[in-house]
């Protein structure tokens, strides 16, 4: 994919410069647009990232005449005979322009390859830079790929980098607007909490991530104004927030944070009032999706009821116990209804139901 060539080719240099081996041009773009990449745990990942940087990200940050020198085949001999060096970035890094075949540029398959190579926590440190670079190179991720990316990041403790991407959504295009994407994000947070048994110092950090994502959804760049499509009102989102809030309060002695837990329980129960749980569901995909909403709800309410400030408050504890039992019975019903093939290889919702119910 060839970048847009805007303007005329770089004018031919004076003869005195033509006879020299190379010349240096002044920088004519913002240093902030030049991506800086950090070393990762994978030499293959580093090599692939640097290919994107050298062949796409940096050339796309050059001015129009310099891009023409790089991408137009007829300028190859000019660059070979008279190298052009430009300073890039805040540190004035020297970058020699070279002819690049637009038909050999990294493709969308290479984008997926880069993301597939991110396994360790520090591998994700370049995520925001990479997403910004591919967006500026006129590449984009489908909704399904965003969900896949969130799932991968969740499996390798990449929530901090996902948060950074969401905070820079205008650059990275990682927006918390689509319900299915936000559900995937918060279910991955729930899974991380379950791996930590909703206890210990890791819960404090996960609680911070969950609350930060929730607060970001209030920002204009992430806000959704149609109530029925607002991820902030989704039971899975609120249920996960309740899980972490209650778990954090329990880990810190059970006295602080009770008001926040109480507020979240009320919000959670209100969110379920808009859901039709009486509909008979026969296809397992929809059942498992519902389990992914029910399990954080059920677990969050159970954790909340372990707090003395909640359990001893008869005005709210009685209703919470009733609703917890109702959700528990529904989960039990779906567990029992799982086909044999699903029981032998549990789907993600069923797996969590088996662990936490």
pLDDT per residue as tens digits for the range 101-143? 999 999 999 999 999 999 988 899 999 999 999 999 999 999 9
d(Cα 322, Cα 299) in Å, to the nearest integer?
Answer: 14
Q: How confident is the model at residue 11 (pLDDT cuts 50, 70, 90)?
A: very low
To the question of pTM greater than 0.85 for the whole model, the response is: yes
Strands of 93-97's sheet, edge to edge? 23-24, 84-88, 93-97
274 pLDDT higher than 50: yes
Rounded Cα–Cα distance for residues 24 and 47 (Å):
27
Share of the chain above pLDDT 90, in %: 68
Average pLDDT over residues 150-163: 96
Tally of CB atoms within 10 A around 205: 16
Strand 23-24 to 84-88 pairing: parallel
pLDDT of residue 33: 61
Confidence of residue 32 (pLDDT cuts 50, 70, 90): very low
Q: Where are the domains of the chain?
A: 1-135, 175-356
> Strand, helix or coil at 277?
coil
User: What's the whole-number average pLDDT of the chain?
Assistant: 88
pLDDT higher than threshold 50 for residue 57: yes
Report pLDDT for 78.
84
* pLDDT computed for residue 220 by the predictor: 93
Q: How far is CA 290 from CA 13, 35, 193, 234, 334, in A?
A: 67, 41, 19, 12, 9
The pLDDT of residue 225:
85
Cβ of 103: how many Cβ atoms within 10 Å? 8
**pLDDT (0 to 100) of residue 281:** 84
At residue 130, the pLDDT reads 96
**Can you give the pLDDT at residue 94?**
84
Angle at the Cα of 306 (from 304 to 309), degrees rounded to 5? 75
pLDDT (0 to 100) of residue 9? 27
**Residue 6 CB contacts under 8 Å (≥ 6 apart), including other chains:** 64, 67
pLDDT in tens, 237-254: 999 999 999 999 999 887
> Residue 189: pLDDT above 80?
yes
| Span 298-326, average pLDDT | 93
Residue 172: predicted pLDDT: 97
More confident residue, 181 or 90: 181
Q: Quick check: 210 and 186 in contact, CB under 8 A?
A: yes
**What does the alpha-carbon distance between residue 247 and residue 203 come to, in Å, rounded to a whole number?**
7
Output the pLDDT for position 183: 97
Q: What is the pLDDT of residue 239?
A: 97
Q: What is the DSSP string of 29-77?
A: S-GGGS------S-HHHHHHHHHHIIIIITGGGS-HHHHHHHH-GGGHH
Residue 288's pLDDT is: 96
Residues 6+ apart with CB under 8 A from 297: 235, 236, 239, 242, 268, 272, 327
- Tokens 């309740």 correspond to 242
H-assigned helices in 173-257:
179-195, 201-216, 235-251
């Amino acid at each position: 994919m060839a970048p847009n060539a805007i303007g005329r080719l770089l004018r031919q240099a004076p003869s005195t410069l033509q006879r020299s081996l190379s010349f240096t041009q002044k920088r004519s773009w913002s240093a902030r647009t030049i991506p800086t990449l950090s070393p990762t745990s994978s030499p293959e990942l580093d090599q692939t990232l640097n290919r994107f940087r050298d062949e796409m990200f940096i050339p796309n940050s050059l001015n129009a005449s310099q891009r023409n020198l790089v991408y137009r085949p007829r300028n190859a001999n000019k660059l070979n005979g008279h190298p052009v060096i430009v300073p890039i970035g805040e540190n004035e890094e020297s970058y020699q322009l070279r002819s690049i075949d637009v038909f050999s540029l990294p493709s969308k398959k290479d984008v997926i390859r880069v993301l597939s190579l991110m396994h360790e926590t520090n591998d994700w440190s370049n995520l925001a830079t990479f997403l910004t670079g591919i967006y500026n190179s006129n590449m984009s991720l489908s909704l399904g790929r965003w969900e896949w990316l969130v799932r991968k990041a969740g499996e390798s403790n990449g929530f901090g980098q996902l948060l950074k991407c969401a905070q820079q959504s205008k650059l990275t295009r990682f927006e918390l607007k689509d319900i299915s994407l936000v559900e995937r994000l918060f279910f991955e947070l729930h899974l991380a909490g379950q791996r930590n048994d909703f206890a210990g110092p890791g819960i404090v950090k996960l609680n911070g991530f969950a609350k930060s994502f929730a607060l970001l959804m209030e920002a204009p760049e992430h806000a959704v104004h149609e109530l029925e499509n607002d991820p902030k009102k989704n039971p899975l989102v609120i249920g996960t927030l309740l899980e972490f809030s209650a778990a954090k309060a329990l880990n810190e002695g059970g006295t602080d944070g009770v008001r926040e837990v109480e507020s979240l329980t009320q919000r959670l129960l209100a969110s379920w009032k808009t859901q039709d749980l009486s509909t008979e569901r026969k296809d397992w995909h929809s059942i498992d999706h519902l389990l992914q909403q029910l399990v954080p709800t059920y677990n969050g309410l159970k954790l909340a009821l372990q707090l003395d400030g909640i359990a001893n408050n008869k005005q709210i504890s009685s209703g919470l116990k009733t609703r917890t039992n109702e959700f528990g019975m529904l989960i039990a019903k779906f567990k029992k209804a799982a086909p044999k093939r699903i029981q032998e290889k549990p789907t993600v919702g069923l797996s969590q139901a088996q662990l936490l119910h």
